[in-house]
Structure 1
Amino acid sequence: MEYTRLGRSGLSVSRLVLGTMNFGPQTSEADSHTIMDRAHEHGVNFFDTADVYGVRPGDGVTEKIIGRWFGSGGGRRERTVLATKAYLPMGERPNEGGLSALHIRRACDASLRRLNTDHIDLYQMHHIDRSTPWEEIWEAFTVLRQQGKVLYFGSSNFAGWHIAQAQEAARSRHFLGLVSEQSRYNLMTRWAELEVLPAARHYGVGVIPWGPLNGGVLGGVLRKQREGGAARGASGRSAVTLAQHRDAIEAYEKLCADLGEDPAHVGLAWLLAQDGVTGPIIGPRTVGQLDGSLRALRIVLDETTLAKLDELFPPPAPNGAKPAPEAYAW
């Protein structure tokens, strides 16, 4: 396993992040525990979850599954860098969502109970809250840090402007601020390169891509269809994406075949090669999927291959000639 620092912090985390969204809805508790044990065997120490993950909104099932795994001992909690999130509604009553000081306090305490732990290593805002001032948010987070309930703070689904706002507000309080931003980012969804990645690099915020295979579309969907297997990227919104970009995806799968690599692993390897990326979130439903993902760490994409990938899935620079954010200027 490879490790890196989380943003400008001194925290060492694995370059693949174990996502747990499937634990409960798609993967049984027993299988979820097996996947987490195998992750530790591989050296994956960075686990990501959220209070809203589960079968039904507000039930916190995924956090409970992780908490019972921690409770089985064996140093599981001590070997895990634990990240969870708050913001989305956990109920229908007022103050059961958002980033008010009241909800932050209640949400953190509830996650601690479900996760069966006395602290959260990385507490993330699941979304920007446009109605709560940063002074209130950072004050609430400062209290959590002082109480020893949270060590580091991160964001998710923030724009570059939001990252700048958050960091400048934290700086005015002499607070460390954000150390990570969890953003949708993959070969086909590269909007983060315009402002999120430049802002994150400027402020020393590590980027953790979610949806690294764009809903399965970059996971070899066409090959799986030809082989008669179930292809995750062939249904729902992913099916629309597949129909719109079929030629590029077909060329991508051919390029991966020429490299002798699985498309899913190439997609992860491309993210690992991007400046400012801490590590993508993988969300295995089975142990086999987890085992296979580690191949991405051993793939080195040369400049020629990277250029071909840019041709297939061009970066979203407005003027094309310069990298963002300078691309906005003439």
Structure 2
Amino acid sequence: MEYTQLGRTGLKVSRLVLGTMNFGPHTSETDSHAIMDAALGAGVNFFDTANVYGIDPKGRTEEIIGRWFAQGGGRRDKVVLATKVYAPMGTETPTWPNHERLSALNIRRAVEASLKRLQTDHIDLYQFHHIDRNTPVEEIWQAVDTLVQQGKILYAGSSNFPGWKIAQMNETARVRGSYGLVSEQCLYNLYERRAEMEVIPAAQQYGLGVIPWSPLHGGLLGGILKKQEQGGRRAGGMAAERIKETAVRERIQAYEELLDRHGLPPGEVALAWLLTRPGVTGPIVGPRTAEQLAGAVRALELELSGELLAELDEIFPPVGASPEAFAW
């Protein structure tokens, strides 16, 4: 396993991040525990979750992870644990006031609830799942600083933030003497490259590690056309709907044909490509099985040639950094 430092911090994390969103809704607790054991066995030490994961009920995924930690064997000490806050956790409609978003009150409440579900005394990376347009940035940092002082969280990160918000958050942190954001978790893959315009440059400027989610773009980059031909399980869902669009299908067809000529598996190449991108700490992989995890780990061994990278750029052109991407 390869390791790197998370952004400007001294924290060392694996170059693959274990995503746990499937734990509960799609993967049983027994299988989830087996996947986490396999991840540790492969050297993956960076686990990502969110308080809202589990869907029915919300928080179920954190509970599954917590019961895995409770088995002991050094599991918690070996893991860099990341979770998130923002979405409403209750089932009532409308949401009860102050039970969502990034007020100091909800951040404090959410941290305590996550700690209980996760059966731990601290969260290594606490991430804001979305921007909150109604809460002052100063209030957010006041809540974070208090939690850091209490030892309940160590670092703060963002998710789905635009470049300007990363700048605002970290400039406000600088004025306050706070450490600021250390990571940004964003949608980024071969097919969806808009993060290259402003989000990734902002992250690099402020020393944030970039953690891409949906590295296979919902399955589009995982060899979906061949799987459809073979009647595979991944032929369904959002990716199967997108592939019905002619323009999408043509690009994915070209992608799969290119990799077929090189004798390379599409899903592993999509992950390996992200590992070549400047500023990227490591992509989040969300395996439903231990076999899928093993495939993701194999991506670390792939070395993509300059020729192949150029061919990939022809199929999925880079959007370019702003303002050059849309101005002279």
| Alpha-carbon distance change, 56 to 302 in structure 1, aligned in 2, over 3 angstroms | same
Find out whether 1:4 has 2:7 as its counterpart. no
| Alpha-carbon distance change, 215 to 242 in structure 1, aligned in 2, over 3 angstroms | farther
Find out whether 1:66 has 2:68 as its counterpart. no
Q: Is the 8 A contact 2:4 2:13 kept in 1?
A: yes
Q: Is the 8 A contact 1:224 1:230 kept in 2?
A: yes
Which consecutive residues of structure 2, in runs of 5 or more, have no partner in the other structure? Answer: none
Q: Deviations over 1:69-98 (max 9, x none)?
A: 000000000000000000001122111100
Letter in 1 for 2:55: V
Q: Deviations over 1:164-195 (max 9, x none)?
A: 01110100111110110000001111110000
Aligned to 2:97: 94
Q: Is the 8 A contact 1:63 1:114 kept in 2?
A: yes
TM-score by length of structure 1 reads 0.95
Aligned to 1:320: none
In the TM superposition, what are the counterparts of 1:155-194 in structure 2 within 5 Å?
Answer: 155-194=158-197
* Equivalent-residue separation in structure 2 for 1:72 and 1:261 (angstroms): 38
* Equivalent-residue separation in structure 1 for 2:191 and 2:254 (angstroms): 13
In the TM superposition, what are the counterparts of 1:1-330 in structure 2 within 5 Å?
Answer: 1-56=1-56, 59-91=58-90, 92-232=95-235, 234-236=236-238, 238-241=240-243, 243=245, 244-317=247-320, 323-330=321-328
Which consecutive residues of structure 1, in runs of 5 or more, have no partner in the other structure? Answer: 318-322
Cα displacement (A) at 1:315? 1.6
* Equivalent-residue separation in structure 2 for 1:245 and 1:236 (angstroms): 13
Q: Is the 8 A contact 1:96 1:103 kept in 2?
A: yes
Cα displacement (A) at 1:55? 3.4
Letter in 1 for 2:201: P
Letter in 2 for 1:260: G
* Equivalent-residue separation in structure 2 for 1:249 and 1:327 (angstroms): 24
Query: How many pairs were matched up?
Result: 323
**Secondary structure of the structure 2 residue equivalent to 1:77:** helix
* Equivalent-residue separation in structure 2 for 1:94 and 1:41 (angstroms): 43
Q: Deviations over 1:210-246 (max 9, x none)?
A: 01000001000001111222225x4336522552411
Q: Deviations over 1:144-167 (max 9, x none)?
A: 000000000100000001100111
Letter in 2 for 1:27: T
After superposition, the CA RMSD in angstroms is 1.2
Q: Is the 8 A contact 2:219 2:239 kept in 1?
A: no
Letter in 1 for 2:67: R
Q: Is the 8 A contact 1:124 1:155 kept in 2?
A: yes
Letter in 2 for 1:239: E
Structure 1 runs of 4+ with >2 Å offset? 234-238, 240-244, 323-330
Q: Deviations over 1:27-80 (max 9, x none)?
A: 0000000000000000000000000000325x3100000000000000000000
Cα displacement (A) at 1:307? 1.0
Cα displacement (A) at 1:326? 4.0
Cα displacement (A) at 1:324? 4.0
